[in-house]
Amino acid sequence: MNTQNYTANPKVSIITIVLNAVDTIEQTILSVLNQTYKNIEYIVMDGGSTDGTLDIIEKYRDRIAVIVSEPDKGIADGFNKGIARATGQWIGMINADDWYMQDAVELMMINTYANDDVCCANLLLIGDNGFKRIKKSKIGWLNYGMYIMHPTCFVRNGVYKAVGGYDPAYKIAMDYDMFLRIKHAGYKIKHIDEHIACMRTLGVSNDVKKMHTEELAVMKRNLSWSSFLIAGLFNKLNRLRWRLWYKDPFRSVNKFATL
């Protein structure tokens, strides 16, 4: 019978990477520092901000375990630098522009068992027009795109060590590449049906054309030829849908915005 890890109060390392996010970084930081779960090691990796972001980070230096500010080679490099410094049994990542619900870490640890390697949950997307939508992680769809919500993911430290770092060659789909590698290495990914994090739809991942292009490259790299043919066709049809028919509710006034 599986035993829950929550009773052992495992240390959880939370990593935030940031570059010039003076308007949003404080909300991200406070969402980590105010968690109901207390055994948290907080790591902030700043890519060399020049807009006042560092001044905000410094306000909380006594409550942040690690603060590093130096130029990096992009998002994947920032992730990898944070992971290299993490000493927790579990690692979560919440970036500038994103934030946790107050009981996020506690919910994930309560629902995580000894044979779980990765756990993921649900994410609230918020558009600059006020539109909101809950996105559930869909593990079974992973071959077809990044259907796991990265800000909701907690990964055992040892899994990252075994599969290697995020690939800096990808500017958007480095998380998709990582989770396909984790899946195909045989690690167990578990969905916990809880809303634990929020994301503004203003970041680099909202470059839809580049996202689809990188996802296709990740599929080709990680899938068998038959799986790649199916996933690649799905990707192309989805790209066509976005270009010709899809009206993005996060970038337009929508009468269903409050649903």
3-state secondary structure of 125: strand
In single-letter form, the type of residue at position 161 comes to: K
pLDDT along the chain (259 residues), means of 10: 59 97 97 97 96 96 97 94 97 96 97 94 90 93 94 97 95 95 96 96 63 90 92 80 62 44
Q: Are strands 154-156 and 90-93 parallel, antiparallel or unpaired?
A: antiparallel
* pLDDT for position 188: 95
Q: Residue 123: which of 204, 179, 197 has the closest Cα?
A: 197
Q: Which residue(s) pair with 40 in the sheet?
A: 12
- The answer to whether the beta carbons of residues 147 and 218 sit under 8 Å apart is no
Q: What is the pTM of this model?
A: 0.89
* pLDDT for position 202: 63
The Cα–Cα gap between 52 and 108 comes to 33
Q: Residue 31: which of 90, 124, 87, 98 has the closest Cα?
A: 98
